[in-house]
Amino acid sequence: MNDKSEHNKLDSDCTFPPDHPVPADQLGRYSPERDYYAEKDVADYVLTQARDELVQNVERVKTEYVMGAPYEIWDVTTDKDRWWVLTNPTNLYSQRHFPSLDYTLSFHVGLMMRVASRSERPGEPEPTPFDEVFRRQGQASTLLERAVEAVDFQVVGMQLRECLISLIAAIRRRVEVSGAEDHPKDADVVGWNALLLNQLCPGEKNEELRKYLKAVTEKAWPLVNWLTHHRNANKTAAFIAGDAVDAIVKHYVRLLSRERADRTDQCPRCASRNVRTFFDIAIESDGAYFEACAECGWDSHPGYPSENDDEDSGDRAR
């Protein structure tokens, strides 16, 4: 009887893994893949939403693509609860109420679509550099829905024409055109388009992109003007002209976004393009953006000021 008890005692002493869980704040030590700044972003977000809780562990579960959009899924453990954190945009869900990850993802995608739909309603717009352009696009769309006679479609063409002129004006306010050549007139959409694209898509590496974008506007501009003056303008022509203008607006919006998003095309250490942008409010004086490579760990974070630079040097390898 005593031998059996002693045998069971030895078995229990040699159990692996141990019969008690690893503390949540120690789990990160056993993860072979860490993403410091992404984990910090998620932890900071949880702290803003659950202010009386202390984050103990942050772990990326997976990234799932829905309709081409990436959704990062994080498992976050605090001293009081356990959360799912999903991105694009970011929201958190208590695992007590959302135990199923698949259900949580489906719920999150549907909820974010409803939120995005409401934010796009008239009266709730977010300010953008293209407010006038979007307003004219909306007016053209409304006019096209109600158009019956040829003159109605001509008015649609006129609104689309003004939309392109407004678009070029908005881009000109944000892009400095270099060179001493005479600038085109304000309403010369094709001329300004060529100059702006030379600036936004410079060099041999952007040649095909630049040629395509120039050609789109060079073809759409006379089409819109033709629709404005054509006595037999019709719905089909108006729809095609509207689609062409919509495409040009989207192209320019993407180009201006790319100007900020692509300012670091490749990691200077490993040449990977998996370089992401983060913001740190602690960077003097009012916070700043920096880049970090998800492949090799390089980052452009300037570090934090210290009274003793010698003690801090080497703390962070970049």
The number of angstroms, rounded, from the C-alpha of 25 to the middle of its chain's C-alpha atoms is 31
- pLDDT class of 314 with cuts at 50, 70, 90: very low
Q: Are 201 and 213 in contact (CB under 8 A)?
A: yes
Indicate whether 77 pLDDT > 70: yes
Spell out the alpha helix ranges (H) of the chain: 2-13, 36-49, 101-119, 131-146, 150-172, 189-200, 207-229, 235-261, 309-312
pLDDT in tens, 202-221: 899 899 999 999 999 999 99
CB atoms within 10 A of CB 47: 14
Q: Quote the pLDDT of residue 2.
A: 54
For helices 235-261 and 150-172, what crossing angle results, to 10°? 10
Q: In the chain, pLDDT over 90 holds for what percent of residues?
A: 43
Q: Which residue has better confidence, 203 or 307?
A: 203
Give which of 206, 107, 138, 128 is closest to 170, Cα–Cα.
Answer: 128
Q: Are 135 and 122 in contact (CB under 8 A)?
A: no
Instruction: Select from 1.10.10, 2.60.40, 2.20.25, 2.60.420 the CATH code of 264-318.
Output: 2.20.25
Radius of gyration of the chain (CA): 28
Partners of 232 in the β-ladder: none
Q: 34-39: long-range contacts at Cβ-Cβ below 8 A with a sequence spacing of 24 or more?
A: 35/60, 35/294, 36/292, 36/297, 37/276, 37/278, 37/292, 37/299, 37/301, 38/72, 38/276, 38/278, 38/294
Indicate whether 126 pLDDT > 60: no
Mean local confidence (pLDDT), 86-101: 92
Q: Where are the domains of the chain?
A: 2-119, 131-261, 264-318
Residues 6+ away with beta carbon under 8 Å from 23:
56
DSSP 3-state of 273? coil
Mean local confidence (pLDDT), 176-205: 86
Residues 6+ away with beta carbon under 8 Å from 125:
119, 131, 134
Q: Tell me which DSSP letter residue 98 carries.
A: -
Indicate whether 193 pLDDT > 50: yes
Q: In the chain, pLDDT over 70 holds for what percent of residues?
A: 77
Residues 6+ away with beta carbon under 8 Å from 236:
none
- pLDDT class of 18 with cuts at 50, 70, 90: low
Task: Report the mean per-residue pLDDT for the chain.
Answer: 82
